[in-house]
Structure 1
Amino acid sequence: MSFIFRRPLRAFALAAGLGLASSACTSQLDQVPSYTANAEVVYRDPVQIQQSLVRLYATLAVSGQSGPDGQPDISGIGEDFSQYLRQYWSMQELASDEGIIAWNDGNLSDISRNTWNANNEFIRAIYDRIFYQIGLCNEFIRQTSDDKLASRGITDANAAGTIRQYRAEARFLRALSYWHALDMFGNVPFADESSSLGGTPPPQITRAALFTYLEDELKAIEPTLVPARTAYARADQGACWALLTKLYLNAEVYTGTARNTDAVTYANKVLGASYVLAPEYRLLFLADNDATAANREVIFTVPFDGNRTRTFGGMPFILHASLGGSVPAADYGVNGGWSGLRIKPNIVDLFQGFPGNTSDARATFYTTGQTRTISDLFNFSQGYLVTKYKNVTSTGRPGSSAQANGGDGNFVDIDYPLFRLADVKLMYAEALLRGGSGGTAGTALEQVNEVRRRSGATPLAGVQLSDILDERGRELYWEAHRRTDLIRFGRFATGNNWPQKGGLATGRDIAAFRTLFPIPATDLAANPNLKQNPGY
């Protein structure tokens, strides 16, 4: 089969028909998803096995079994808020010095204020979504072992080899979700494909032990995954290396022991592969970013299709909620804005001279009718708007010279770049500056300046560790990295204030325990093996 999928898993319309029944949020990892067709039937057929793999990818993009809503995967919150990427993005952005949202739904404002507790339904949503995904992956991995395949008559070497590849991809997706759990929640419930089903609730694994598990798991699947850049929107070796780089770069936060040389080692693997920076920054965030030179920079993406991947989360949320006020929404390929998201002045101020006196193409802020400062969380006119993403193509459709809209006015065609080359270049530079050794891809300064030159920013004469945090803010804002970055640099709880932080309009320091989110009270009640994170 071909491993090069162009919008491959963009056919996420399949997700509703893959036989997975709708499920409420699970508080236990030993639950098996229900199938309308018995697992003995599904996993006897290589075609249905591939469709089941598609569902694992689709869970990052869709919110249930009937797009855009109607049969949610998890309960306890509106389906639009329950989508994986939407909640992961919100936790990374709204809890940091980047994003703020004007909506007053439930306890959403507590995320922007850094005043959440264990009963926050939005924190529960990302927690439940993470472990729902892990449960799906565990079942796929459980059902596709060599012994299981042989018992079901799948003995052809080519078919079995392809399914082993699928199994490695499922293990990567499980590792991705466990990394999200490690990063956001610390000590969490743990189960894998060997865990007993229907028995006692899963045990709680320590953060350090989960780190070791992820390190071993990613190294184990690396040889089985297809080579880097041969599987667009699927887990390949490049995605595995990028996740290992992130794991090692944050190791001191997760375990107390720095692993910067290991971060350099795996960043080197990415930098030595065939990834290339897109010639223009804007290409990365357009409706045809799968088909332009942007796809040579993207390492792992969550695909969206305005006609086939219909959800009110993910990219439709990020784009629509960033627009409002006097923004002409039609210029961004959508039929209107949702007047929610704005960017805090901390990020705007990284672009010295903005507005009007910066050559940096990354400063994509809309200012008309908007103030730079934010004193009222719920006033949408306070805070500049981010126009980084556009549901338009880089060029016109055949026969047209104008840009064309992607997909649909409500749902968008922009693939979300979860990992990309510029991020790895900056991680490589940071790991070197933190004392990592073995760099074969040039100096930290060379890698940072490659990223800057692409966007017309003046090259730096020298680079220090603090410059990396600022550069990551300029390059990667609105891409769900900021909370993790601030924690790694020791700038999350103290020494870096932003509007509404700690519940104060001008911002204030918060307690160190808030570098982790609480285990939701619902899961603590369901699983007596769990202990709450300190401070909650």
Structure 2
Amino acid sequence: MKRINLTHVKAVFAIAIMSLFVVSCDIEIEETDSIFPEETSGDFGGVAAVGASVQDLYNSVYGQLGDQANFFALNEVSTDETLVPTRGTDWGDNGIWRTLHAHTWSPTHQFVLNTWNNLNQNVFRATQVIDPASTIIGEGETRSLEELKAEARFLRAFSMYFVLDLWGVAPFRGVNDGADVNPQVFTAQEAYAFIAEDLNAAIAGLPSRGPSGDNNRASKATARFLLAKLFLNAERYGASPAYADVITLCNQIADDGYSLQSGYFDIFKEDVDTETIWYANTSVGNRIWNGMHYNIVAPDNTGGGWNGFTTLAEFYDSFGGAPDSNYVGDADDERRGWVPDAGNADETNLGIGYGFLVGQMYDVNGAPLKDRPGDPLVFTRDLPGLSGNNERTGIRIIKYHPVNGSFANHEIVFRYADVHLMKAEAMLRSGGNATAMVNELRTIRLAQPLGSVSEADLLAERGRELYYEFWRRNDMLRFGQYTRAWEFKDEASIGDETKRLYPIPINALLSNPNLVQNPGY
């Protein structure tokens, strides 16, 4: 019997419904397009309870981060790290995944529209909380009004940052703008300044907090992390380099008690560690199961995976080690992980590996697994293309492990290793030497030190450390590698600088005349 993953079915259904609207002559503009305020009277009286509104905002952001489509897909599937090949009819979805990896998306791409709507809606809801009219904290809330509004400023900055990063502009609507008022549109430089102002205000109002189980909420370190990321990418947004500020912010985060931690895959447990600056209360199930085969199971997920996401052999090869297997001892970098074989597959790992899964897969008892047609379940490094795949093609990625809970509500968003590498990059770009800092990280990750570190080395190191953590597109753009060739990218899109930004969704253009489509679309 064919197992059916309900999340995948829902995605396919949503895409099918979308296609009906695309072929229609009339495009209906709905209030979900995020440019419509919830209060349209022009006389905003404040949110009913600031504490509850901030929690609702967190919940929305966390749900968006935990999704396998939309935000995650735009930032990861569009890179050399991740792809979702079609297997027979599985994961065809009218090409919605293939076009991301191939860079052949269009202004009607559903993930582009959904992400635009979600992020801009976050910005507007945060603006309502921040507004001076919002003064009622709400019953049972222990945080001050200042702290709650500082959290809202951080969440607004986070969402607007990615609007800027993905589209190069950022619409903004005031709480008293009625539905007949078109939102203003910040240029990249205006959005950059607005985000920096929000983050500086957030830093002033947020608590100092080091490693803690409470790091699902914003702290000074969280806001400083995002401000460092903004400054590190300053030139992309038309601003002047701010590398000295990046270094200062990274040092301040370390002063709060954050540091590199050994035991790479232990960091992705729910336990408190020295690296996790901000985590989302959202299921890690999509980070585990969207690449696992249907016959790979866990006690709390007996239905198995949904056999979609893979990585490219060239990305896997950036780690070094044996090219066709990843059993214990095959890798020269802890972060590449390992695959249990017949001798060490047991209840401590459920027969499921860590990192990159290639070669024969085994069950919890060490017996070789098979695919549904009955062939040995051997994940291959090579794929025939974005289409025409069987159940076994492609190396799979798994950072969060089901032995710690197949659907644990703890996904890392900001991590200290990123801070460490941001500081190293800022040093390198301002004329310093990043070799010692990169080798400090590599030594902790049980990888051989490098003799020197160039920009290319630093990008590769960020890939090895931060894969599947939302940052690959951002990194490739900053290092000028996002438009280069990689396997299965459409030839016509290679070197196409217009693909550095996504298209403004058609619905948004029709709704707001102040928006102008990005070049190339």
TM over 0.5: yes
In the alignment, which of 450, 455, 470 is matched to residue 465 of structure 1?
Answer: 455
In the alignment, which of 410, 416, 421 is matched to residue 426 of structure 1?
Answer: 421
**Helix, strand or coil at the partner of 1:392:** helix
AA aligned to 1:348 is Y
Establish whether residue 115 from structure 1 lines up as the match of residue 104 from structure 2. Answer: yes
What's the counterpart of residue 486 of structure 2?
498
Distance 1:360 1:192, change over 3 A: farther
**Helix, strand or coil at the partner of 2:504:** coil
Residue pair 1:28, 1:527 contacting (<8 A) in 2 also: no
**Helix, strand or coil at the partner of 1:474:** helix
Normalization by structure 2: what TM-score?
A: 0.78
Establish whether residue 366 from structure 1 lines up as the match of residue 357 from structure 2. Answer: yes
Residue pair 1:282, 1:388 contacting (<8 A) in 2 also: yes
**Helix, strand or coil at the partner of 2:438:** helix
Summarize deviations over 1:83-107 as a string: whole Å, max 9, x none. Answer: 7674211111111000001311133
What's the counterpart of residue 7 of structure 1?
none
Residue pair 1:325, 1:381 contacting (<8 A) in 2 also: no
Structure 1: distance between partners of 2:47 and 2:477: 43
Summarize deviations over 1:462-494 as a string: whole Å, max 9, x none. Answer: 222221101001101111111111111111113
Structure 2: distance between partners of 1:199 and 1:436: 51
In the alignment, which of 132, 136, 139 is matched to residue 125 of structure 2?
Answer: 136
What's the counterpart of residue 149 of structure 2?
167
Q: CA deviation at 1:417?
A: 1.0
AA aligned to 1:206 is T
What's the counterpart of residue 210 of structure 1?
191
Summarize deviations over 1:385-410 as a string: whole Å, max 9, x none. Answer: 112221323xxxxxxxxxxxx2xx6x
Establish whether residue 220 from structure 1 lines up as the match of residue 210 from structure 2. Answer: no
What's the counterpart of residue 389 of structure 1?
400
Distance 1:30 1:98, change over 3 A: same
Establish whether residue 54 from structure 1 lines up as the match of residue 55 from structure 2. Answer: yes
Establish whether residue 277 from structure 1 lines up as the match of residue 283 from structure 2. Answer: no
Residue pair 2:294, 2:307 contacting (<8 A) in 1 also: yes
Distance 1:332 1:481, change over 3 A: farther
In the alignment, which of 151, 162, 171 is matched to residue 180 of structure 1?
Answer: 162
Q: CA deviation at 1:516?
A: 0.2
**Helix, strand or coil at the partner of 1:487:** helix
Summarize deviations over 1:414-454 as a string: whole Å, max 9, x none. Answer: 511111000110111011100178xxxxx633322232122
Residue pair 1:84, 1:130 contacting (<8 A) in 2 also: no
Establish whether residue 298 from structure 1 lines up as the match of residue 266 from structure 2. Answer: no
Structure 2: distance between partners of 1:530 and 1:387: 39
Structure 1: distance between partners of 2:34 and 2:205: 29
Establish whether residue 353 from structure 1 lines up as the match of residue 321 from structure 2. Answer: yes
What's the counterpart of residue 316 of structure 1?
285
Summarize deviations over 1:5-25 as a string: whole Å, max 9, x none. Answer: xxxxxxxxxxxxxxxxxx966
Q: Which moved more, 1:447-456 or 1:25-34?
A: 25-34
**Helix, strand or coil at the partner of 2:107:** coil
Identical-pair percentage: 29
Summarize deviations over 1:61-90 as a string: whole Å, max 9, x none. Answer: 337xxxxxxxxxxxxxxxxxx976742111
AA aligned to 1:179 is Y
**Helix, strand or coil at the partner of 2:321:** coil
Structure 2: distance between partners of 1:178 and 1:32: 19
For these two proteins, the number of residue pairs brought into alignment is 440
AA aligned to 2:179 is G
Question: Which 5+ residue runs of structure 2 have no aligned equivalent?
Answer: 1-28, 86-90, 337-354, 360-377
Structure 1: distance between partners of 2:39 and 2:460: 43
Aligned CA RMSD, in angstroms, stands at: 2.9
AA aligned to 1:519 is I
Q: CA deviation at 1:534?
A: 0.7
Residue pair 1:25, 1:129 contacting (<8 A) in 2 also: no
Q: CA deviation at 1:159?
A: 7.8
Summarize deviations over 1:474-533 as a string: whole Å, max 9, x none. Answer: 101111111111111111113xx222212x5xx971410000000001110111111000
AA aligned to 1:219 is N
AA aligned to 1:321 is N
Q: Within 5 Å, which residues of 2 pair with 1:140-155?
A: 140-142=129-131, 145=132, 148-149=134-135
Normalization by structure 1: what TM-score?
A: 0.76
